[in-house]
Amino acid sequence: MLTNATPTTDKAPEGAPRPSNLFYLASSRRPLVDRAEGIYIWDQSGRRYIDGSSGPMVVNIGHGNRNVIQAMKRQMDRVTFAYRLHFENEPAEELARQLAARMPAGLDRMFFVSGGSEAVESCIKLARQWAVATNQPQRWKVVTRFPSYHGGTLGSLSVTGDDALSQSFWPLMQKMPTIPAPAAWRDRDNLSMEERGLRYADMLEEKILEEGPESVLAFIMEPIGGAATAALVAPDSYYGRIREICDRHGVLLIHDEVMSGAGRTGRFLGGDHWNCRPDIVAMSKGIGSGYAPLGAMAASSRLVQPLLEAGGFQHGHTYAGNPLACAAGLAVLGEMDRLRLIENAAAMGEALMEELRGLQSRFPFIADVRGKGLLIGAEMVADPETLAPIPPRRMAYQRLLDLCYERGLIIYARRVKGGRDGDNFILAPPMVVTREQVDEIIGILGDALVALAGELDL
Based on the shown chain and the rule CB under 6 A, indicate whether residue 437 belongs to the binding site for ligand PLP. no
Site mask, ligand PLP, residues 150-169, x = CB under 6 A? xxx-----------------
CB of 326 to ligand PLP, least distance (A): 17
| The only residue of 53, 54, 117, 158 in contact with ligand PLP, by rule CB under 6 A | 117
Cα torsion through 113, 281, 205, 236, rounded to 10: -140
Residue 261 within binding range of ligand PLP, rule CB under 6 A: no
Closest residue to ligand PLP, based on beta-carbon distance: 116
Query: Which residues touch 331 (CB under 8 Å, ≥6 apart)?
Result: 65, 67, 68, 70, 71, 72, 291
| CB contact burial 85-108 (16+ within 10 A = b; e otherwise) | eeeebebbeebbeebeebbbebbb
The DSSP element (H or E) to which 283 belongs, if any, is strand 280-283
Cβ(283)–Cβ(261) under 8 Å? yes
With binding defined as CB under 6 A, does residue 256 bind ligand PLP?
A: yes
| Least distance between ligand PLP and beta carbon 445 (Å) | 22
Q: Which is nearer to ligand PLP, 109 or 264 (CB)?
A: 264
CB within 8 Å of 396: residues ≥ 6 apart: 380, 390, 423, 452, 456, 458
Measured between its terminal Cα atoms, the distance across the chain in Å is 54
Residue 356, classed as helix, strand or coil, is: helix
Which residue from 38, 197, 226, 278 is in contact with ligand PLP, where contact means CB under 6 A? 226
Residues 77-106 that bind ligand PLP (CB under 6 A): none
Q: How far is the CB of 284 from ligand PLP (least distance, A)?
A: 5
**290 belongs to the binding site for ligand PLP (CB under 6 A):** no
Give the residue from 255, 317, 265, 316 showing the smallest Cα distance to 286: 265
Using the rule CB under 6 A, which residue among 36, 41, 92, 120 binds ligand PLP? 120
Residue choice 68, 227, 307, 458 for contact with ligand PLP (CB under 6 A): 227
Which stretches does DSSP call E strand in 56-200? 109-113, 141-146, 178-180
Are residues 306 and 101 in contact, defined by beta-carbon separation less than 8 angstroms? Answer: no
Q: Quick one: 152 or 180, whose CB is closer to ligand PLP?
A: 152
Which residue, 56 or 446, is less far from ligand PLP as judged by CB?
Answer: 56
Instruction: Give min distance, CB of 228 to ligand PLP, in A.
Output: 8
Binding residues vs ligand PLP (CB under 6 A): 56, 115-117, 120, 149-152, 222, 226-227, 256, 258-259, 284
